[in-house]
């Protein structure tokens, strides 16, 4: 098995600490808003990774946190807690915000066939673990108290730069950009482990600690939850590429200082989804959510299909044109599979295609090759039953519902959008703007909605091909 390991900046052979078993940690969402489809691309890649490993026969223990405290707007030690920003925005408690957006996140994951990890743990449920770790870090001289807060002393940890591959001058630029100057720190790279002297008022979530009432920094959450549930030796830690610095850099420093040995061997970073203006964000441009795509007539699995056609490590630019093509190809593919007869299975051919699929997984999770293999299977000179049986196996990893019959339901929002479009087209026709009328018809057709003009008016039907 090969994976791109950020620690060594190359694709390398993956060898777990214990043969056949994988301990995998994936940074979870900060539940202060809906997830955008960029965030969800990361979880789709991690889902494929977990399922791919299982397909190869590994036992995978996977843990994910839910960040419901401590993640500041600046990603470092600057700005307000994102949960507080949401509390003010929506006039609800942090707990209510966290519960609501956690549920929304898992609803989106379900629509995208992203499996919920076995262990999902809230940051606020593990404060004892952070206190235990921070106490030891202070005892061992890796952390210090200053102006009421506890900071990690990055000068005490020799390998601080190993993950980001940047030197202190480069990081200085990042620090200046991302992190407010804090005169309580010995070095600008030092980061907060525990705050009792918050820079912002009304931090709603606070706990007693040996250093006073306060709240944990963001980075200690992931180290604490990972070590608590997966032990001292981790095989894979994942997150999107923006987590390399400061989040994962700081996680490594505090975890290895606490444990006294190397913590995790493989750091896998997922490429960003950008929109045409650059980085996708929740605060600017169109806030692209799964629900928005559904309202526009897209099947969430068309988006999954679109993601799987790219290499997880690379960035991907989202456009509606690319999603249109993905949806068309996806429906066409499903349609072909739905016509396969369920006759005899040729086990030899099936096994040879399973081997090819395993090779694609082992090739640094080559999802576009996995998809190509589905098309190869359909072209193969064998029985329909064999094709169906192979694709059914592939779908354990791809999770595109390739062999599942669609129930073709239209939800209320989509129905409303279609009816509005029909009205708009009627208006265009009345004004003799036939090119606009045709454009509306074509736009809907791409999304699998075919307009039918009758004497009584226009109706529609859903098509898959």
Footprint on this chain of ligand AMP (rule: CB under 6 A): 27, 29-30, 38-39, 41-42, 67, 239-240, 242-243, 272-273, 279-280
Tell me if 222 contacts Zn ion by CB under 5 A.
Answer: yes
Give the burial class of 68: count Cβ atoms within 10 A of its Cβ; 0-12 exposed, 13-18 middle, 19 or more buried.
buried
Residues in the chain: 465
Q: For residues 425 and 437, is the Cβ–Cβ distance under 8 A? A: yes
Q: Which CB atom, from 68 or from 182, has the smaller least distance to ligand AMP?
A: 68
364: left (phi over 0), alpha (psi -120 to 50) or beta: left
Q: Residue 429 CB, nearest distance to Zn ion (Å)?
A: 54
Residue 41 binds which of ligand AMP, Zn ion, none (CB < 5-8 A, kind-dependent): ligand AMP
**Which residues make beta-bridge pairs with 3?**
12
Give the burial class of 443: count Cβ atoms within 10 A of its Cβ; 0-12 exposed, 13-18 middle, 19 or more buried.
middle
Residue 440 binds which of ligand AMP, Zn ion, none (CB < 5-8 A, kind-dependent): none
Q: Which CB atom, from 44 or from 422, has the smaller least distance to ligand AMP?
A: 44
Q: Residue 148 CB, nearest distance to Zn ion (Å)?
A: 25
Q: Residue 34 CB, nearest distance to ligand AMP (Å)?
A: 10
**283 Cβ partners below 8 Å, 6+ apart?**
none
- Tell me the backbone φ, ψ of residue 116, rounded to 5 degrees: -75, 130
Q: Residue 42 CB, nearest distance to ligand AMP (Å)?
A: 4
Residue 366 binds which of Zn ion, ligand AMP, none (CB < 5-8 A, kind-dependent): none
Q: Residue 25 CB, nearest distance to Zn ion (Å)?
A: 8
Q: Residue 411 CB, nearest distance to ligand AMP (Å)?
A: 26
Tell me if 240 contacts Zn ion by CB under 5 A.
Answer: no
* Residue 370 CA from chain centroid, whole number: 20
Q: Which CB atom, from 67 or from 399, has the smaller least distance to Zn ion?
A: 67
Residue 70 binds which of Zn ion, ligand AMP, none (CB < 5-8 A, kind-dependent): none
Residue 222 binds which of Zn ion, ligand AMP, none (CB < 5-8 A, kind-dependent): Zn ion
Residue 150, helix vs strand vs coil: strand
Q: For residues 142 and 254, is the Cβ–Cβ distance under 8 A? A: yes
Residue 250 binds which of ligand AMP, Zn ion, none (CB < 5-8 A, kind-dependent): none
Angle between helices 249-259 and 218-230 (to 10 degrees): 50
Q: Which CB atom, from 242 or from 392, has the smaller least distance to ligand AMP?
A: 242
Tell me if 133 contacts Zn ion by CB under 5 A.
Answer: no
Q: Do the strands 149-152 and 191-195 form a parallel or antiparallel pair, or are they unpaired? A: antiparallel
Residue 377 binds which of Zn ion, ligand AMP, none (CB < 5-8 A, kind-dependent): none
- Neighbouring C-beta atoms of residue 163, cutoff 10 Å: 23
Give the integer Cα–Cα distance in Å for 463 and 310.
Answer: 26
Tell me which stretch binds Zn ion (CB under 5 A): 27-35, 90-98, 130-138, 442-450: 27-35
Q: How far is CA 381 from CA 11, 73, 335, 340, in A?
A: 35, 56, 19, 13
Residue 273 binds which of ligand AMP, Zn ion, none (CB < 5-8 A, kind-dependent): ligand AMP
Q: Residue 121 CB, nearest distance to ligand AMP (Å)?
A: 15
**Which residues make beta-bridge pairs with 22?**
60
- Residues near Zn ion (CB under 5 A), total: 2
Give the burial class of 57: count Cβ atoms within 10 A of its Cβ; 0-12 exposed, 13-18 middle, 19 or more buried.
exposed
Q: Which CB atom, from 39 or from 299, has the smaller least distance to ligand AMP?
A: 39
Q: Residue 163 CB, nearest distance to Zn ion (Å)?
A: 13
Tell me which stretch binds Zn ion (CB under 5 A): 23-31, 46-54, 130-138, 165-173: 23-31
Residue 242 binds which of ligand AMP, Zn ion, none (CB < 5-8 A, kind-dependent): ligand AMP
Residue 226, helix vs strand vs coil: helix
Task: Using CB positions, name the residue nearest to ligand AMP.
Answer: 38
Tell me if 27 contacts Zn ion by CB under 5 A.
Answer: yes
Q: For residues 64 and 109, is the Cβ–Cβ distance under 8 A? A: no
Q: How far is CA 74 from CA 80, 176, 218, 392, 397, in A?
A: 8, 11, 11, 44, 36
Tell me if 109 contacts Zn ion by CB under 5 A.
Answer: no
Q: Which CB atom, from 241 or from 362, has the smaller least distance to ligand AMP?
A: 241
Q: Residue 146 CB, nearest distance to ligand AMP (Å)?
A: 27
Angle between helices 127-139 and 218-230 (to 10 degrees): 100
Q: Residue 256 CB, nearest distance to ligand AMP (Å)?
A: 21
- Fill in the DSSP letter of residue 242: G
Binding-site ranges for Zn ion (CB under 5 A): 27, 222
């Amino acid at each position: 098995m090969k994976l791109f390991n950020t620690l060594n900046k190359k694709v390398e052979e993956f060898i777990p600490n214990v043969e056949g078993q994988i301990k995998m940690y994936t940074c979870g969402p900060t539940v202060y808003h809906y997830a955008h489809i960029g965030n969800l691309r990361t979880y789709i890649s991690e889902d494929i990774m977990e399922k791919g490993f299982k397909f190869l026969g590994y036992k995978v223990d996977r843990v994910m946190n839910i960040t419901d405290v401590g993640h500041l707007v600046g990603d470092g030690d600057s700005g307000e807690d994102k949960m507080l920003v949401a509390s003010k925005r929506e006039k609800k408690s942090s707990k209510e915000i966290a519960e609501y957006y956690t549920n929304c996140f898992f609803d989106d994951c379900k629509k995208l066939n992203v499996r919920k990890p076995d262990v999902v743990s809230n940051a606020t449920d593990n404060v004892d673990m952070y206190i235990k770790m921070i106490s030891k870090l202070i005892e061992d001289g890796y952390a210090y108290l200053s102006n009421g807060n506890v900071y990690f002393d990055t000068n005490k940890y020799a390998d601080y730069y190993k993950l980001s591959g940047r030197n202190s001058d480069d990081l200085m630029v990042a620090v200046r950009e991302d992190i407010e100057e804090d005169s309580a720190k010995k070095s600008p790279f030092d980061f907060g482990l525990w705050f009792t002297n918050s820079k912002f008022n009304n931090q709603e979530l606070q706990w007693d600690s040996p250093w006073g009432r306060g709240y944990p920094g963001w980075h200690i959450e992931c180290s604490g939850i990972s070590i608590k549930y997966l032990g001292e030796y981790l095989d894979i830690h994942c997150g999107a590429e923006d987590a390399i610095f400061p989040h994962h850099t700081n996680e490594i420093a505090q975890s290895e200082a606490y444990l006294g040995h190397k913590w995790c061997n493989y750091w896998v970073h997922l490429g960003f989804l950008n929109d045409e203006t650059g980085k996708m964000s929740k605060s600017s441009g169109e806030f692209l959510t799964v629900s928005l795509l559904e309202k526009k007539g897209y099947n969430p699995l068309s988006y999954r299909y679109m993601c799987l056609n790219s290499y997880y490590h690379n960035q991907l630019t989202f456009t509606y044109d690319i999603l249109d093509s993905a949806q068309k190809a996806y429906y066409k593919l499903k349609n072909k599979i739905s016509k396969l007869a369920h006759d005899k299975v040729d086990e030899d051919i099936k096994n040879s295609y399973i081997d090819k699929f395993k090779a694609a997984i082992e090739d640094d999770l080559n999802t576009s090759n996995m998809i190509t293999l589905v098309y190869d299977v359909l072209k193969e000179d064998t029985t329909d039953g064999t094709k169906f049986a192979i694709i059914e196996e592939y779908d354990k990893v791809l999770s595109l519902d390739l062999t599942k019959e669609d129930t073709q339901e239209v939800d209320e929002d989509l129905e409303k959008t279609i009816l509005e479009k029909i009205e708009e087209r009627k208006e265009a026709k009345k004004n003799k703007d036939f090119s606009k009328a045709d454009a509306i018809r074509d736009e809907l057709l791409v999304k699998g909605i075919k307009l039918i003009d009758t004497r009584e008016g226009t109706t529609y039907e859903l098509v898959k091909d």
